[in-house]
Amino acid sequence: GHKLTEDEMKAIRAHNYKVDTDLGARAYDKLSRAFPELAGLPSRQRLQTQISFLSGVVPVKYDCCVDSCCCFTGPYADLDECPYCEKPRKDGAG
């Protein structure tokens, strides 16, 4: 097996803390500024990359209704508007 390095363990602890506390992106970004002893904390992008590599789980992005009625996958994958509230799948910016 693979013995985890201290940096890998730090990334796992940071990820667990972020997920367990439902820590938002802005709050995570401010941690190392608020606590200088956390200066080596990986950026959010680096953290996601490390966790994906270590776990083998890669995130998959899907469009969702702006009102959270549905996710445009499976039977809804080809729809241009929500089948429940009829709001458009994409906004003006795409």
Q: pLDDT band for position 2 (50/70/90)?
A: confident
Nearest-angstrom CA–CA distance, 34 and 68: 34
Nearest-angstrom CA–CA distance, 38 and 84: 45
Residue carrying the six token digits 């799948």: 89
The pLDDT of residue 17 is above 70: yes
pLDDT tens digit sequence for 66-84: 999 999 999 999 999 999 9
The pLDDT of residue 91 is above 80: yes
Question: So what's the pLDDT on residue 94?
Answer: 64
Residue 55's nearest CA partner among 12, 88, 13 is 12
Mean predicted lDDT score pLDDT of the chain: 91
The pTM score is: 0.62
Q: Give the start-to-end residue ranges of the domains of the chain.
A: 6-55, 60-94
